[in-house]
A = this chain, B = another copy of it.
Amino acid sequence: MAGTDQLSAVFSALADPTRRGILAELATRDATVTELTAPLSISMPAVSRHLKVLERAELISRSRSGKWRASRLEAAPLREAAVWIERYRRFWDSSLSRLDAHLAAVQAAARATDRMAGDPKELA
């Protein structure tokens, strides 16, 4: 999973399109493993393990009722993922702070050029 921290677990869980599909499904309704498996072209054990990954990332919770296990979306960890990504918004959202991004880019480029073309000691 790369890291063992929460954020890594969440991003890792989101890295699989099947799991993103499951989350999308759960956004509309709680669902059993069988229901989640139906539209997919993989076996139920495979889905079961995807659910375990999502559960470990705390993106879903599961309840038992007789022989059925319902999965429910738990979106809280997505908030932290969103917070992490939002810190980079100014780098893509030029309408919000075009000047910021431009200045940052220019300054970064200048520093990089200095380091790369200029005094080698700056590299240390």
Contacts and interface: CB of A to CB of B under 8 A. Distances in A.
13 contacts: A11-B15, A27-B87, A28-B104, A29-B112, A30-B108, A35-B123, A63-B123, A68-B117, A70-B116, A73-B88, A78-B85, A78-B92, A81-B85
* Interface magnitude class on chain A: 35 or more
B92 A79 contact: yes
Interface of A: 1-3, 5, 7-8, 11-12, 14-20, 23, 27-32, 34-35, 63, 65-66, 68, 70, 72-73, 75-76, 78-79, 81-82, 84-89, 91-93, 104, 107-109, 111-113, 115-117, 119, 122-123
A15 B1 contact: yes
Contact of A34 (B68, B79, B123): B123
B11 A115 contact: no
A97 to B, nearest CB: 12
Pick the 7 closest A-B CB pairs, nearest first: A75-B91, A2-B16, A12-B15, A65-B122, A30-B112, A11-B15, A29-B108
Contact of A91 (B27, B63, B108): B27
A3 B15 contact: yes
